[in-house]
Structure 1
């Protein structure tokens, strides 16, 4: 997919997903977030940049860790995601944070401005992940650290069929290289190419829990990476893709809903 088109798909897709994202994904992503914070070891007073911040799940947790003397900048390609973050910051009267719509591959920040760079499950959507990692490298100080997470291998993620199901009904792939960074060695190689050293990797096997077929479909199609395509479908096609998706996850169904396997890969690098 042409890079400018991919950015537009992500920007407007996540605008569509913004209102559903936190409700449907916060608990599902918690294992990855917990691992990231264990590796990041954020200290009081540090300056942090959270790239692809979404609704601020990582940003506000980082803000709490760095305290009143620290600072957090959250960036995302989606206007709606940034709006939600700003609303939460205003509601909580958080003054030592800022949220801006920004391209991850061209961060509007000075060289060596931050102590820590974070990116939770955002690299998979970027046209050039290495370029984004180079930007994360550039904006941290010497001795600073970067912690990122991505989804693991495609066969280890039981919900992966959503891409094939949607791609059959659109003219171009939605996320053509989504699982690439989760393959063996790819995240480490990409971080090395971006300049990072002392790279540490962790893999986490997890399960996504959904109480019903409706909740599983909402997470897959309304609150995630295929939201833009899904919202353009007719009601008939929406019903078709949901039925096809539920067939693909039938093996993970139980009387209380669905328990779908997933995998995260977490990487930490230093400058």
Structure 2
């Protein structure tokens, strides 16, 4: 797909998902977010740029780590997500956070200004992941850190059938690239190719907890990467998709109604 078109699909898709994103993903993604911050080793007073900030869940943690004498610039391709992040930071009194709409592969920020550039589960959606890594590298000073977390291999993510199930009805334009960065060391190679030093990668297997069927379907369909495609479904088609997906994860349903679905994350860190 043409990169400009891909970015447009992602922008409108996450605009559509923004209102439902946290309902489904706040709890399941927490282990991956914590790994990202552990690798980043943020210190009070540091300056951080965040790519693909989403609704600001990680932004809030970053701001807490650097404190009021630090600086955080949170960016996302989706204006709705940027607005959510802004509202969150205002509500939490995080005055040292600024927000802006921009693509992860073209961060329009001052070069070599930041101590760290972070991206939590966003590089999978960029048409050119190496360009996103290079853009993050450009933003940090010599000695600065670049850290990104992505989903791991498709076979290790028990919810992955959502993509072919949706694509059988209408192309989501996400599945072909989604698991690429986290597979076969691709993201680590992108870090090295961008000129980052001391590149290290960490793979973690987690059990993603969804409190019930509604939370799971919210995350997978209207609060996640296929949200734009789902908007085109008739009620009948949506019901078919829901039933087919629930059947694909039936083995991960606990007796109390929760879904405990395996997921894999890959976190990569490097230094300029």
TM over 0.5: yes
Task: Using the TM superposition, name which of 163-172 and 104-113 deviates more.
Answer: 163-172
- Cα distance change on mapping 1:172 and 1:31 into 2, 3 Å: closer
Off by >4 Å, runs of 4+ in structure 1: none
Q: Kindly indicate whether residue 272 of structure 2 is the aligned counterpart of residue 262 of structure 1.
A: no
Q: Where do 5+ consecutive residues of structure 2 fail to align?
A: none
TM-score by length of 2: 0.97
Question: What secondary structure, in the 3-state scheme, does the structure 2 residue paired with 1:19 have?
Answer: coil
1:129-148 aligned at under 5 Å gives the runs: 129-148=129-148
Cα distance in 2 for residues equivalent to 1:72 and 1:235:
42
1:139-185: per-residue Cα shift (whole Å, max 9, x none)? 10000001100000000000001111111112463342110111122
Where do 1:6-21 residues align within 5 Å?
A: 6-21=6-21
Which residue does 1:26 correspond to in 2? Answer: 26
SS in 2 for 1:23: helix
Report the equivalent of 2:45: 45
Q: What is the Cα deviation at residue 94 of structure 1?
A: 2.2
2:157 counterpart residue number: 157
Q: Is the 8 A contact 1:167 1:174 kept in 2?
A: no
**Do the aligned partners of 1:125 and 1:175 also contact (CA within 8 Å) in 2?**
no
Shift of 1:6: 1.1
1:63 aligned residue: 63
Q: Which residue of the partner structure matches residue 87 of structure 1?
A: 87
The answer to whether the 8 A contact 1:124-1:150 is kept is yes
Q: Distance in 2 between matches of 1:87 and 1:238?
A: 31
Supply the distance in 1 between the matched residues of 2:186 and 2:147 (Cα, whole angstroms). 15
Q: Contact (CA 8 Å) 1:12, 1:78: kept in 2 or not?
A: yes
Shift of 1:23: 2.3
Contact kept in structure 1, 2:137 and 2:196, CA below 8 Å? yes
Separation in 1, partners of 2:261, 2:158: 6
Task: Kindly tell me the number of residue pairs found equivalent between the two proteins.
Answer: 271
Within 1, Cα distance between the matches of 2:146 and 2:235? 43
